[in-house]
Amino acid sequence: MHDNELSPSARKVQEALEAAGVPCRVQELAASSRTAAEAAEAVGCDVAQIVKSLIFKGAHSGDPVLALVSGKNRVNEALLAAACGEPVGKADAAFVRERTGFAIGGIPPLGHLEQLYPVIDRDLLEYPEVWAAAGTPHALFRITPADLLAVTGGRAADLS
């Protein structure tokens, strides 16, 4: 699939990857990749290699907090709060779209409306490559954990 055939949201992610200088290619799939299990099945990897992009809301700042989590893990909100320096709560769909420009189910780790500095699940660093959402529930891209850290400006922490 060529870039001009990507949906608008997936194309935004492809452009952000190119601007960051990483040679990743967004792929749009016929099958849904909304859940980590669906995404892993669609690309033929372990569910732990799927990057779940989860948006929380800082309890004091009201700012979005992006957690990039291994598909095998659930976020421990106390650990996330410690990593980002304030308590966090769940963000609703309207907040997520307003602050990132993407809908829940396709949130990528980069290319948001505002710069987010994610907290990245240390478990993702165990793999030679991981797969992240690319703007829609049908779009993904493969990236090394080192490149994921570099292009997002994120920092690794224990999140589960």
Name the residue ranges covered by the structural domains of the chain.
Answer: 8-157
Question: What is the pTM (predicted TM-score) of this model?
Answer: 0.93
The distance between the two most distant Cα atoms of the chain, rounded to a whole number of Å, is 43
- Domain at 8-157, CATH class: alpha beta
Q: What is the pLDDT of residue 5?
A: 87
Residue with tokens 């099945």: 41
Residue with tokens 């769909």: 93
Residue with tokens 């165990």: 126
pLDDT in tens, 139-156: 999 999 999 999 999 999
pLDDT in tens, 63-82: 999 999 999 999 999 999 99
Q: How confident is the model at residue 4 (pLDDT cuts 50, 70, 90)?
A: low
HSE at residue 7, side-chain half, CA atoms within 13 A, is 15
Distance between first and last Cα of the chain: 36
Q: How confident is the model at residue 2 (pLDDT cuts 50, 70, 90)?
A: very low
